Structure 1
Amino acid sequence: MIKTVIFDMDGVIVDTEPVHRYAYYLQFSELNIEVPEEMYTSFTGFSTRNTFQALKGYFPSVEQEVEDLIQRKRNIFNDAFDTKEDLYLLDGVEDLIKDLFHNGIQLILASSASKVTIDRVFTRFNLHQYFTHIVSGEDFPQSKPNPAIFNHAASLSIAPKENCIIIEDSTNGIKAAKAAGIYCVGYRSQHSNLQDYSEADLVIDHFNELNAQKISQIEA
Protein backbone atom coordinates (compact mmCIF):
# COMPACT_ATOMS: atom_id res chain seq x y z
CA MET A 1 0.00 0.00 0.00
CA ILE A 2 1.27 3.44 -0.92
CA LYS A 3 2.01 5.61 2.12
CA THR A 4 3.99 8.48 0.55
CA VAL A 5 3.67 10.51 -2.65
CA ILE A 6 6.75 12.42 -3.80
CA PHE A 7 5.88 15.35 -6.06
CA ASP A 8 8.03 17.22 -8.52
CA MET A 9 7.04 20.91 -8.66
CA ASP A 10 7.66 22.58 -12.02
CA GLY A 11 5.26 21.11 -14.55
CA VAL A 12 3.48 19.01 -11.92
CA ILE A 13 2.20 21.39 -9.23
CA VAL A 14 2.63 24.72 -10.98
CA ASP A 15 3.63 25.65 -14.50
CA THR A 16 6.51 28.02 -13.86
CA GLU A 17 8.23 26.77 -17.01
CA PRO A 18 7.20 29.85 -19.09
CA VAL A 19 8.73 32.09 -16.41
CA HIS A 20 11.93 30.01 -16.32
CA ARG A 21 12.05 30.04 -20.10
CA TYR A 22 11.62 33.82 -20.21
CA ALA A 23 14.41 34.27 -17.64
CA TYR A 24 16.80 31.88 -19.36
CA TYR A 25 16.30 33.26 -22.86
CA LEU A 26 16.63 36.86 -21.71
CA GLN A 27 19.91 35.85 -20.10
CA PHE A 28 21.02 33.92 -23.20
CA SER A 29 20.46 37.13 -25.15
CA GLU A 30 22.55 39.06 -22.64
CA LEU A 31 25.30 36.44 -22.99
CA ASN A 32 25.03 36.61 -26.79
CA ILE A 33 24.50 32.87 -27.20
CA GLU A 34 21.86 31.01 -29.20
CA VAL A 35 20.50 27.94 -27.44
CA PRO A 36 18.56 25.59 -29.76
CA GLU A 37 15.19 24.26 -28.61
CA GLU A 38 16.45 20.68 -28.48
CA MET A 39 19.33 21.67 -26.19
CA TYR A 40 17.05 23.72 -23.93
CA THR A 41 14.58 20.82 -23.68
CA SER A 42 17.40 18.48 -22.65
CA PHE A 43 17.91 20.63 -19.53
CA THR A 44 14.36 19.97 -18.25
CA GLY A 45 14.68 18.66 -14.69
CA PHE A 46 18.18 20.11 -14.27
CA SER A 47 18.99 22.49 -11.43
CA THR A 48 20.00 26.00 -12.51
CA ARG A 49 23.59 25.23 -11.47
CA ASN A 50 23.78 22.10 -13.64
CA THR A 51 22.16 23.95 -16.55
CA PHE A 52 24.81 26.67 -16.52
CA GLN A 53 27.61 24.17 -16.00
CA ALA A 54 26.43 22.37 -19.13
CA LEU A 55 26.02 25.63 -21.06
CA LYS A 56 29.57 26.74 -20.22
CA GLY A 57 30.73 23.47 -21.76
CA TYR A 58 28.78 24.16 -24.94
CA PHE A 59 29.65 27.87 -25.12
CA PRO A 60 33.27 28.70 -24.15
CA SER A 61 32.49 32.39 -24.77
CA VAL A 62 30.51 32.45 -21.50
CA GLU A 63 33.21 33.56 -19.09
CA GLN A 64 31.11 34.42 -16.05
CA GLU A 65 31.31 32.18 -13.00
CA VAL A 66 28.42 29.73 -12.55
CA GLU A 67 27.39 31.38 -9.26
CA ASP A 68 27.12 34.78 -10.98
CA LEU A 69 25.05 33.27 -13.79
CA ILE A 70 22.74 31.60 -11.26
CA GLN A 71 22.18 34.86 -9.38
CA ARG A 72 21.39 36.81 -12.55
CA LYS A 73 18.90 34.19 -13.72
CA ARG A 74 17.31 34.08 -10.26
CA ASN A 75 16.89 37.87 -10.25
CA ILE A 76 15.21 37.84 -13.66
CA PHE A 77 12.97 34.94 -12.62
CA ASN A 78 11.95 36.54 -9.32
CA ASP A 79 11.06 39.84 -10.97
CA ALA A 80 8.95 38.03 -13.59
CA PHE A 81 7.35 35.69 -11.03
CA ASP A 82 6.27 38.53 -8.76
CA THR A 83 4.64 40.47 -11.62
CA LYS A 84 3.01 37.50 -13.37
CA GLU A 85 -0.65 37.47 -12.36
CA ASP A 86 -1.72 34.55 -14.57
CA LEU A 87 0.23 31.91 -12.65
CA TYR A 88 -1.94 29.09 -11.38
CA LEU A 89 -1.63 25.62 -9.94
CA LEU A 90 -2.05 23.01 -12.65
CA ASP A 91 -5.62 21.89 -13.15
CA GLY A 92 -6.71 19.34 -10.56
CA VAL A 93 -3.48 19.13 -8.60
CA GLU A 94 -4.70 21.11 -5.57
CA ASP A 95 -7.70 18.79 -5.20
CA LEU A 96 -5.39 15.77 -5.40
CA ILE A 97 -2.98 17.23 -2.82
CA LYS A 98 -5.83 17.94 -0.40
CA ASP A 99 -7.39 14.50 -0.96
CA LEU A 100 -4.10 12.73 -0.27
CA PHE A 101 -3.42 14.88 2.79
CA HIS A 102 -6.86 14.35 4.31
CA ASN A 103 -6.55 10.60 3.78
CA GLY A 104 -3.29 10.39 5.69
CA ILE A 105 -0.91 9.93 2.77
CA GLN A 106 2.41 11.67 3.36
CA LEU A 107 3.45 14.30 0.80
CA ILE A 108 7.09 15.17 0.05
CA LEU A 109 8.36 17.65 -2.54
CA ALA A 110 11.50 16.81 -4.51
CA SER A 111 12.15 19.58 -7.00
CA SER A 112 15.18 20.67 -9.00
CA ALA A 113 14.18 24.26 -8.21
CA SER A 114 16.08 26.32 -5.66
CA LYS A 115 14.80 26.63 -2.09
CA VAL A 116 14.01 30.29 -2.73
CA THR A 117 11.85 29.48 -5.76
CA ILE A 118 10.09 26.60 -3.99
CA ASP A 119 9.31 28.86 -1.05
CA ARG A 120 7.91 31.56 -3.35
CA VAL A 121 5.58 29.05 -5.01
CA PHE A 122 4.53 27.35 -1.77
CA THR A 123 3.91 30.66 -0.03
CA ARG A 124 1.94 32.10 -2.94
CA PHE A 125 -0.36 29.05 -3.09
CA ASN A 126 -0.37 28.18 0.64
CA LEU A 127 1.04 24.68 0.15
CA HIS A 128 3.46 24.37 3.08
CA GLN A 129 0.70 22.94 5.30
CA TYR A 130 0.35 19.77 3.21
CA PHE A 131 3.99 18.66 2.85
CA THR A 132 6.11 17.10 5.59
CA HIS A 133 9.41 17.70 3.76
CA ILE A 134 10.77 19.84 0.94
CA VAL A 135 13.88 18.69 -0.92
CA SER A 136 15.64 21.06 -3.33
CA GLY A 137 17.93 20.07 -6.17
CA GLU A 138 20.38 22.79 -5.17
CA ASP A 139 21.57 20.49 -2.37
CA PHE A 140 22.82 17.84 -4.80
CA PRO A 141 25.87 18.07 -7.09
CA GLN A 142 24.07 16.25 -9.92
CA SER A 143 20.55 16.86 -11.23
CA LYS A 144 17.95 14.40 -12.43
CA PRO A 145 18.29 11.87 -14.10
CA ASN A 146 20.70 11.21 -11.22
CA PRO A 147 18.48 9.57 -8.56
CA ALA A 148 20.10 11.24 -5.52
CA ILE A 149 17.25 13.69 -4.89
CA PHE A 150 14.64 10.93 -4.96
CA ASN A 151 16.71 8.57 -2.85
CA HIS A 152 16.95 11.30 -0.24
CA ALA A 153 13.23 12.10 -0.47
CA ALA A 154 12.39 8.43 -0.01
CA SER A 155 14.64 8.29 3.05
CA LEU A 156 12.34 10.91 4.63
CA SER A 157 9.25 8.79 4.03
CA ILE A 158 7.29 7.26 6.88
CA ALA A 159 7.42 3.98 4.95
CA PRO A 160 9.93 1.93 2.90
CA LYS A 161 10.74 2.91 -0.68
CA GLU A 162 8.39 0.17 -1.90
CA ASN A 163 5.48 2.14 -0.41
CA CYS A 164 6.33 5.39 -2.23
CA ILE A 165 5.43 6.74 -5.64
CA ILE A 166 6.78 9.72 -7.57
CA ILE A 167 4.80 12.06 -9.82
CA GLU A 168 6.97 13.55 -12.58
CA ASP A 169 6.48 15.30 -15.92
CA SER A 170 9.95 15.22 -17.48
CA THR A 171 12.13 12.60 -19.15
CA ASN A 172 14.97 13.30 -16.72
CA GLY A 173 12.63 13.12 -13.72
CA ILE A 174 11.14 9.81 -14.81
CA LYS A 175 14.62 8.37 -15.41
CA ALA A 176 15.67 9.54 -11.93
CA ALA A 177 12.62 7.92 -10.34
CA LYS A 178 13.28 4.59 -12.05
CA ALA A 179 17.00 4.77 -11.22
CA ALA A 180 15.94 5.18 -7.58
CA GLY A 181 13.77 2.08 -7.91
CA ILE A 182 10.53 3.93 -7.18
CA TYR A 183 7.17 3.59 -8.95
CA CYS A 184 6.66 6.59 -11.21
CA VAL A 185 3.51 8.26 -12.46
CA GLY A 186 4.22 10.32 -15.57
CA TYR A 187 2.05 13.43 -15.87
CA ARG A 188 1.73 14.28 -19.54
CA SER A 189 0.35 17.78 -19.99
CA GLN A 190 0.14 20.32 -22.78
CA HIS A 191 3.26 21.92 -21.26
CA SER A 192 5.38 18.75 -21.45
CA ASN A 193 6.84 19.27 -24.89
CA LEU A 194 9.21 16.63 -26.26
CA GLN A 195 9.27 14.61 -23.02
CA ASP A 196 9.50 10.80 -23.07
CA TYR A 197 7.09 8.85 -20.84
CA SER A 198 8.04 5.35 -21.98
CA GLU A 199 9.74 4.45 -18.68
CA ALA A 200 6.87 5.62 -16.45
CA ASP A 201 4.86 2.90 -14.71
CA LEU A 202 1.63 4.81 -15.26
CA VAL A 203 0.91 7.81 -17.49
CA ILE A 204 -1.92 10.28 -16.83
CA ASP A 205 -3.13 13.30 -18.78
CA HIS A 206 -5.09 14.95 -15.95
CA PHE A 207 -4.96 14.81 -12.18
CA ASN A 208 -8.63 13.82 -12.00
CA GLU A 209 -7.41 10.36 -13.02
CA LEU A 210 -5.90 9.99 -9.53
CA ASN A 211 -7.23 10.14 -5.99
CA ALA A 212 -6.16 8.87 -2.57
CA GLN A 213 -8.01 5.57 -2.91
CA LYS A 214 -6.53 4.76 -6.33
CA ILE A 215 -3.02 5.75 -5.26
CA SER A 216 -3.11 3.79 -2.01
CA GLN A 217 -3.96 0.64 -3.98
CA ILE A 218 -1.09 0.93 -6.47
CA GLU A 219 1.09 -2.17 -6.44
CA ALA A 220 4.53 -0.55 -6.52
Structure 2
Amino acid sequence: MSKLQALLFDVDGTLADTERDGHRVAFNMAFEDAGLDWSWDEGLYGELLAVTGGKERIRFYLEQFNTDFEKPENFDDFVKGLHESKTNFYTQLMAEGKIPLRTGVERLIKEAREAGMRMAVVTTTTPANVTALLESTLGPDSESWFEVIAAGDIVPAKKPAPDIYYWALEQMNLTPEDAIAFEDSSNGIQSSAAANLKTIVTINEYTKDDDFSDAVVVLDHMGEPGRPFTLLSGETFGQDYLDLALVHKIANA
Protein backbone atom coordinates (compact mmCIF):
# COMPACT_ATOMS: atom_id res chain seq x y z
CA MET A 1 0.00 0.00 0.00
CA SER A 2 1.08 3.56 -0.65
CA LYS A 3 1.28 6.27 1.97
CA LEU A 4 -1.91 7.67 0.52
CA GLN A 5 -3.84 9.46 3.27
CA ALA A 6 -6.55 11.50 1.56
CA LEU A 7 -8.91 11.65 -1.41
CA LEU A 8 -9.63 15.14 -2.78
CA PHE A 9 -12.82 15.37 -4.81
CA ASP A 10 -13.90 18.00 -7.28
CA VAL A 11 -17.70 18.32 -7.39
CA ASP A 12 -19.28 19.55 -10.62
CA GLY A 13 -18.90 16.94 -13.33
CA THR A 14 -16.85 14.67 -11.07
CA LEU A 15 -19.26 13.64 -8.31
CA ALA A 16 -22.36 14.34 -10.40
CA ASP A 17 -23.29 15.64 -13.84
CA THR A 18 -24.37 18.89 -12.25
CA GLU A 19 -23.31 21.27 -15.01
CA ARG A 20 -25.76 20.48 -17.82
CA ASP A 21 -28.79 19.45 -15.77
CA GLY A 22 -28.20 21.44 -12.60
CA HIS A 23 -26.23 24.65 -12.83
CA ARG A 24 -27.29 25.47 -16.41
CA VAL A 25 -30.96 24.95 -15.57
CA ALA A 26 -30.64 27.00 -12.37
CA PHE A 27 -28.97 29.87 -14.23
CA ASN A 28 -31.85 29.95 -16.71
CA MET A 29 -34.38 29.91 -13.86
CA ALA A 30 -32.59 32.86 -12.25
CA PHE A 31 -32.52 34.79 -15.52
CA GLU A 32 -36.25 34.26 -16.04
CA ASP A 33 -36.98 35.22 -12.44
CA ALA A 34 -35.03 38.48 -12.98
CA GLY A 35 -37.00 39.27 -16.13
CA LEU A 36 -34.04 38.68 -18.43
CA ASP A 37 -34.46 37.07 -21.84
CA TRP A 38 -31.16 35.19 -21.58
CA SER A 39 -31.18 31.46 -22.19
CA TRP A 40 -28.11 29.24 -21.97
CA ASP A 41 -28.60 26.14 -24.11
CA GLU A 42 -26.33 23.10 -23.78
CA GLY A 43 -23.98 24.21 -26.55
CA LEU A 44 -23.50 27.73 -25.22
CA TYR A 45 -23.06 26.46 -21.68
CA GLY A 46 -20.28 24.19 -22.88
CA GLU A 47 -18.44 27.27 -24.12
CA LEU A 48 -19.11 29.15 -20.88
CA LEU A 49 -17.47 26.31 -18.94
CA ALA A 50 -14.13 27.68 -20.14
CA VAL A 51 -14.46 29.95 -17.10
CA THR A 52 -14.82 28.62 -13.55
CA GLY A 53 -17.06 30.23 -10.95
CA GLY A 54 -20.68 31.28 -11.40
CA LYS A 55 -20.23 35.03 -11.07
CA GLU A 56 -17.24 34.85 -13.37
CA ARG A 57 -19.31 32.87 -15.89
CA ILE A 58 -22.01 35.56 -15.99
CA ARG A 59 -19.37 38.22 -16.63
CA PHE A 60 -17.76 36.10 -19.35
CA TYR A 61 -21.14 35.63 -21.03
CA LEU A 62 -21.72 39.38 -21.15
CA GLU A 63 -18.18 40.10 -22.34
CA GLN A 64 -18.15 37.50 -25.11
CA PHE A 65 -21.69 36.45 -26.05
CA ASN A 66 -24.12 39.22 -25.08
CA THR A 67 -22.16 42.39 -25.66
CA ASP A 68 -25.26 44.47 -26.39
CA PHE A 69 -26.55 44.13 -22.85
CA GLU A 70 -26.52 47.48 -21.08
CA LYS A 71 -24.89 46.90 -17.72
CA PRO A 72 -26.56 48.59 -14.74
CA GLU A 73 -24.56 51.06 -12.67
CA ASN A 74 -24.45 48.66 -9.74
CA PHE A 75 -23.11 45.90 -11.99
CA ASP A 76 -21.22 44.01 -9.25
CA ASP A 77 -24.36 43.86 -7.10
CA PHE A 78 -26.39 42.85 -10.14
CA VAL A 79 -24.08 39.90 -10.86
CA LYS A 80 -23.93 38.93 -7.19
CA GLY A 81 -27.74 39.00 -6.92
CA LEU A 82 -28.20 36.91 -10.06
CA HIS A 83 -25.72 34.36 -8.76
CA GLU A 84 -27.40 34.18 -5.35
CA SER A 85 -30.74 33.60 -7.08
CA LYS A 86 -29.16 30.88 -9.22
CA THR A 87 -27.75 29.20 -6.09
CA ASN A 88 -31.22 29.19 -4.51
CA PHE A 89 -32.71 27.55 -7.58
CA TYR A 90 -29.85 25.05 -7.70
CA THR A 91 -30.31 23.99 -4.09
CA GLN A 92 -34.03 23.63 -4.82
CA LEU A 93 -33.24 21.27 -7.71
CA MET A 94 -30.90 19.31 -5.45
CA ALA A 95 -33.48 19.05 -2.68
CA GLU A 96 -35.90 17.60 -5.21
CA GLY A 97 -33.36 14.87 -5.98
CA LYS A 98 -33.07 15.85 -9.62
CA ILE A 99 -29.37 15.02 -10.00
CA PRO A 100 -27.85 11.67 -8.90
CA LEU A 101 -24.20 10.92 -8.25
CA ARG A 102 -22.17 9.51 -11.13
CA THR A 103 -21.51 5.80 -11.51
CA GLY A 104 -19.28 4.47 -8.73
CA VAL A 105 -19.03 7.66 -6.72
CA GLU A 106 -21.22 6.68 -3.76
CA ARG A 107 -19.61 3.26 -3.50
CA LEU A 108 -16.06 4.67 -3.48
CA ILE A 109 -16.85 7.42 -0.97
CA LYS A 110 -18.54 4.99 1.43
CA GLU A 111 -15.69 2.49 1.08
CA ALA A 112 -13.16 5.22 1.81
CA ARG A 113 -15.15 6.37 4.83
CA GLU A 114 -15.40 2.85 6.23
CA ALA A 115 -11.65 2.45 5.78
CA GLY A 116 -10.96 5.67 7.70
CA MET A 117 -9.54 7.42 4.64
CA ARG A 118 -9.44 11.19 4.97
CA MET A 119 -11.52 13.03 2.38
CA ALA A 120 -12.01 16.61 1.22
CA VAL A 121 -14.02 18.53 -1.34
CA VAL A 122 -11.99 20.89 -3.53
CA THR A 123 -14.19 22.90 -5.88
CA THR A 124 -14.97 26.32 -7.31
CA THR A 125 -18.69 25.96 -6.69
CA THR A 126 -20.27 27.60 -3.64
CA PRO A 127 -20.42 25.88 -0.23
CA ALA A 128 -24.24 25.92 -0.44
CA ASN A 129 -24.09 23.94 -3.67
CA VAL A 130 -21.77 21.37 -2.11
CA THR A 131 -24.08 20.96 0.88
CA ALA A 132 -27.14 20.62 -1.35
CA LEU A 133 -25.57 17.91 -3.49
CA LEU A 134 -24.12 15.88 -0.62
CA GLU A 135 -27.26 16.00 1.51
CA SER A 136 -29.57 15.12 -1.39
CA THR A 137 -27.47 12.13 -2.47
CA LEU A 138 -25.51 10.79 0.51
CA GLY A 139 -27.74 11.90 3.39
CA PRO A 140 -28.13 14.76 5.85
CA ASP A 141 -24.91 14.12 7.79
CA SER A 142 -22.69 13.38 4.79
CA GLU A 143 -20.93 16.75 4.69
CA SER A 144 -19.25 15.75 7.96
CA TRP A 145 -17.59 12.84 6.18
CA PHE A 146 -15.28 15.37 4.52
CA GLU A 147 -12.57 16.85 6.70
CA VAL A 148 -12.32 20.01 4.59
CA ILE A 149 -14.80 21.71 2.26
CA ALA A 150 -12.64 23.95 0.06
CA ALA A 151 -15.26 25.76 -2.00
CA GLY A 152 -16.33 29.01 -3.61
CA ASP A 153 -14.42 32.20 -2.91
CA ILE A 154 -12.23 30.76 -0.17
CA VAL A 155 -9.22 31.67 -2.35
CA PRO A 156 -9.26 34.57 -4.83
CA ALA A 157 -7.80 32.66 -7.82
CA LYS A 158 -10.06 29.83 -8.92
CA LYS A 159 -9.20 26.78 -11.00
CA PRO A 160 -7.15 26.41 -13.20
CA ALA A 161 -5.01 28.13 -10.55
CA PRO A 162 -3.75 25.59 -7.97
CA ASP A 163 -4.57 27.82 -4.99
CA ILE A 164 -7.65 25.91 -3.83
CA TYR A 165 -5.64 22.67 -3.69
CA TYR A 166 -2.80 24.39 -1.85
CA TRP A 167 -5.33 25.67 0.67
CA ALA A 168 -6.94 22.26 1.19
CA LEU A 169 -3.60 20.52 1.64
CA GLU A 170 -2.51 23.18 4.13
CA GLN A 171 -5.71 22.79 6.15
CA MET A 172 -5.18 19.03 6.29
CA ASN A 173 -1.44 19.32 6.99
CA LEU A 174 -0.66 17.14 3.99
CA THR A 175 1.88 17.18 1.18
CA PRO A 176 0.83 16.49 -2.42
CA GLU A 177 2.38 13.02 -2.12
CA ASP A 178 -0.10 12.19 0.66
CA ALA A 179 -3.21 12.71 -1.47
CA ILE A 180 -4.81 12.02 -4.83
CA ALA A 181 -7.28 14.25 -6.67
CA PHE A 182 -10.38 13.41 -8.69
CA GLU A 183 -11.26 15.78 -11.53
CA ASP A 184 -13.25 15.90 -14.77
CA SER A 185 -12.12 18.95 -16.75
CA SER A 186 -9.19 20.81 -18.25
CA ASN A 187 -9.41 23.55 -15.62
CA GLY A 188 -9.51 20.91 -12.92
CA ILE A 189 -6.50 18.91 -14.09
CA GLN A 190 -4.49 22.10 -14.63
CA SER A 191 -5.26 23.08 -11.03
CA SER A 192 -4.44 19.73 -9.43
CA ALA A 193 -1.38 19.10 -11.60
CA ALA A 194 0.01 22.54 -10.77
CA ALA A 195 -0.35 21.58 -7.11
CA ASN A 196 1.72 18.44 -7.89
CA LEU A 197 -1.15 16.08 -7.15
CA LYS A 198 -1.62 12.78 -8.92
CA THR A 199 -5.06 12.99 -10.49
CA ILE A 200 -7.68 10.50 -11.65
CA VAL A 201 -10.00 11.97 -14.28
CA THR A 202 -13.53 10.82 -15.12
CA ILE A 203 -14.63 12.62 -18.27
CA ASN A 204 -18.14 13.76 -19.17
CA GLU A 205 -19.84 15.01 -22.32
CA TYR A 206 -18.59 18.56 -21.81
CA THR A 207 -14.98 17.57 -21.11
CA LYS A 208 -14.37 14.45 -23.22
CA ASP A 209 -12.16 16.38 -25.68
CA ASP A 210 -10.10 18.20 -23.03
CA ASP A 211 -6.36 17.66 -22.64
CA PHE A 212 -5.76 15.23 -19.80
CA SER A 213 -2.12 14.43 -20.50
CA ASP A 214 -1.25 15.37 -16.89
CA ALA A 215 -3.66 12.82 -15.40
CA VAL A 216 -2.35 9.45 -14.18
CA VAL A 217 -5.57 7.69 -15.20
CA VAL A 218 -8.48 8.82 -17.41
CA LEU A 219 -11.80 6.93 -17.28
CA ASP A 220 -15.28 7.48 -18.65
CA HIS A 221 -16.65 6.89 -15.12
CA MET A 222 -15.59 5.11 -11.91
CA GLY A 223 -17.44 1.92 -12.78
CA GLU A 224 -19.31 -0.60 -10.70
CA PRO A 225 -19.08 -4.38 -10.35
CA GLY A 226 -20.84 -5.57 -13.48
CA ARG A 227 -20.66 -2.12 -15.06
CA PRO A 228 -17.02 -1.64 -16.03
CA PHE A 229 -15.41 1.67 -16.84
CA THR A 230 -13.67 2.35 -20.15
CA LEU A 231 -9.98 3.05 -19.64
CA LEU A 232 -8.93 5.98 -21.82
CA SER A 233 -5.37 6.33 -20.57
CA GLY A 234 -3.18 5.14 -17.74
CA GLU A 235 -2.90 1.84 -15.88
CA THR A 236 -5.66 0.15 -13.86
CA PHE A 237 -3.88 -3.14 -13.19
CA GLY A 238 -6.53 -5.34 -14.77
CA GLN A 239 -9.40 -3.94 -12.70
CA ASP A 240 -12.55 -2.62 -14.35
CA TYR A 241 -14.07 -0.51 -11.59
CA LEU A 242 -12.46 2.00 -9.25
CA ASP A 243 -12.32 0.86 -5.64
CA LEU A 244 -10.07 2.00 -2.81
CA ALA A 245 -7.54 -0.76 -3.46
CA LEU A 246 -7.14 0.39 -7.06
CA VAL A 247 -6.82 4.03 -5.94
CA HIS A 248 -3.96 2.95 -3.67
CA LYS A 249 -2.27 1.12 -6.57
CA ILE A 250 -2.60 4.16 -8.82
CA ALA A 251 -1.27 6.49 -6.12
CA ASN A 252 1.68 4.18 -5.48
CA ALA A 253 2.59 3.57 -9.14
TM-score, normalised relative to structure 2: 0.75
Deviation at 1:192, TM superposition (A): 4.2
Q: What is the CA deviation profile of residues 127-172 of structure 1, one whole-angstrom value per residue up to 9, with x for unaligned ones?
A: 2242111111222222211111111112133532112110001111
Higher relative contact order (CA 8 A, sep 6+): 1
C-alpha root-mean-square deviation of aligned residues, in Å? 2.6
Could you say what secondary structure the match of 1:107 adopts?
Answer: strand
2:112 corresponds to: 100
Rg (Cα) greater in structure: 2
- 1:204 and 1:157 mapped to 2: Cα distance? 27
Deviation at 1:35, TM superposition (A): 5.6
137-146 vs 89-98, which moves further: 137-146
Deviation at 1:21, TM superposition (A): 1.2
1:147 corresponds to: 162
1:112 corresponds to: 124
Q: 1:74 aligns with which of 79, 84, 87?
A: 87
- 2:70 and 2:177 mapped to 1: Cα distance? 44
Q: 1:203 aligns with which of 198, 202, 218?
A: 218
| Residues 176-195 of structure 1: pairs in structure 2 closer than 5 A | 176-189=191-204, 192-195=207-210
Aligned residues: 219
Alignment-mate amino acid for residue 120 of structure 1: A
- 2:57 and 2:164 mapped to 1: Cα distance? 16
Q: 1:21 aligns with which of 19, 24, 44?
A: 24
Change (3 A) 1:71 1:206: closer
- 1:216 and 1:13 mapped to 2: Cα distance? 19
Deviation at 1:20, TM superposition (A): 0.8
- 2:29 and 2:209 mapped to 1: Cα distance? 22
- 1:173 and 1:62 mapped to 2: Cα distance? 33
Alignment-mate amino acid for residue 242 of structure 2: L
TM-score, normalised relative to structure 1: 0.85
- 1:151 and 1:158 mapped to 2: Cα distance? 10
Q: Which runs of 5+ in 2 are unaligned?
A: 224-240
Change (3 A) 1:56 1:191: closer
141-150 vs 157-166, which moves further: 157-166
Whether the 8 Å CA contact 1:3–1:216 is kept in 2: the answer is no
Whether the 8 Å CA contact 1:97–1:130 is kept in 2: the answer is no
1:213 corresponds to: 245
- 2:28 and 2:190 mapped to 1: Cα distance? 26
1:41 corresponds to: 47
Whether the 8 Å CA contact 1:166–1:185 is kept in 2: the answer is yes
Q: Which runs of 5+ in 1 are unaligned?
A: none
Alignment-mate amino acid for residue 129 of structure 2: T
